[in-house]
Amino acid sequence: MKKVLILAIAISLVLGMVQLALAAPAYLKAPYGKVPYRYGIGNPMFRGQNLIRLLDLTDEQIGKIKELRERYYNRLKELWNKLQDAVFSLKQLQLEKEPDKSLLDKQREEIKERRKELRSVFNEYWKEFKSILTNEQISKLNRMRTARPYRYRRAPGGFHPYFRW
């Protein structure tokens, strides 16, 4: 009788540990490199072939969009690099034992200005981009940009998009 009781307890402990091991959050089980697109560079629906397919772009529109992207690429790259340099210098100032408050404030203001510049250039880009599209394509684009692919729900360890509704 004692042996059966000990065996039953051992089996229940082993099964309990197996269930605990399998209850890990889904993001720990995701294959390497597979992260949700919301955490990546951006929504893939606005890149390349998906944009062409979803908006039914003509060859003329595709050519204009290519020109637009080429025109804004270097400008945005330069602004982004300036912003990164400003952020880096702020972090370096913060690592000093007694940083000068006026220098920190000046650096923060510079970062704000760089971000405003970037935002204004992005807004210019979007205005020109939308001027290439027809009204129907603009309405499709607006619907896609505001649509949420799924809702988050409370998962073990916090909110995580691999747990879908």
User: Is the pTM of the predicted complex or chain greater than 0.75?
Assistant: no
pLDDT surpasses 70 at 112: yes
Gap between the Cα atoms of 26 and 154, Å rounded: 12
Gap between the Cα atoms of 2 and 135, Å rounded: 80
Q: What is the mean pLDDT of residues 99-115?
A: 90
pLDDT surpasses 60 at 86: yes
Please write the tens of the pLDDT for every residue from 17-41: 767 666 655 544 444 444 444 443 4
Strand partners for 44: none
| Sign for the pseudo-dihedral over CA of 93, 94, 95, 100 | positive
pLDDT surpasses 60 at 59: yes
Angle, in degrees to the nearest 10, between helices 59-94 and 101-132: 170
H helices of 33-100, in order, are 48-55, 59-94
- Chain Cα centroid distance, residue 133: 25
